[in-house]
Structure 1
């Protein structure tokens, strides 16, 4: 019984795919090893998730010199049918604003 309780206590609301997308949105030039360290997964897992996100159209990997730069497709919609019509940018904004300490959306560009 304790094994079942211990396994259940480790669940979280966000998947690693969501965490990787949020990390990439925070730093589009982040290296895979840094993404992995930030999320707490292996570099190989991070590479697989980035590939999944790219194949699904959530991000584009652009090679600049020896580094990758990632561009998020902010208009792409969340995949689950109960979240139909919700753009991925909504998820990113929720965590971006939390990390910046803002409760309201931050305007991009000069004031």
Structure 2
């Protein structure tokens, strides 16, 4: 019996729909108290890559953090808009709502 091809890129095609920045932001929105180690594991990235992405997101105004004990608690600034001109008008909150919808 022949199986239907699965949608999406094949192995080794080199592209995905979401950037690593989007993946990290989604994970932080799901668990604001996550450690960089946990975020890295869920996003299949190195801890160092996650740290750089968090710095980028904070510098761009998409994320803030406060120190709580020995860790950080992050806050996604949902009123910010997406950066690409083709996405103008769409807010980060809209993207996160879509990606975090359990349906």
Relative to the length of structure 2, the TM-score reads 0.86
CA drift at 1:85: 1.3
Runs of 4+ residues over 4 Å off in structure 1:
none
CA drift at 1:40: 0.2
**Alignment of 1:41 onto 2:42:** no
**Alignment of 1:68 onto 2:57:** no
Structure 1 stretches lacking a partner, 5+ long: 102-111
Relative contact order: is structure 1 or structure 2 higher (C-alpha 8 Å, sep ≥ 6)?
2
Question: Which of 17, 20, 27 is residue 23 of structure 1 equivalent to?
Answer: 27
- Residue 17 of structure 2: aligned partner: 13
The verdict on how the C-alpha distance between 1:34 and 1:82 changes in structure 2, with shifts beyond 3 A counting, is: same
CA drift at 1:49: 0.2
CA drift at 1:67: 1.1
Report the Cα distance in structure 2 between the residues aligned to 1:14 and 1:29, rounded to whole angstroms. Answer: 22
Report the Cα distance in structure 2 between the residues aligned to 1:17 and 1:11, rounded to whole angstroms. Answer: 14
- Output one character per residue of 1:35-59: Cα deviation in whole Å (capped at 9) or x when no partner: 0000000000000001100000001
The verdict on how the C-alpha distance between 1:84 and 1:6 changes in structure 2, with shifts beyond 3 A counting, is: same
Structure 2 stretches lacking a partner, 5+ long: 1-9
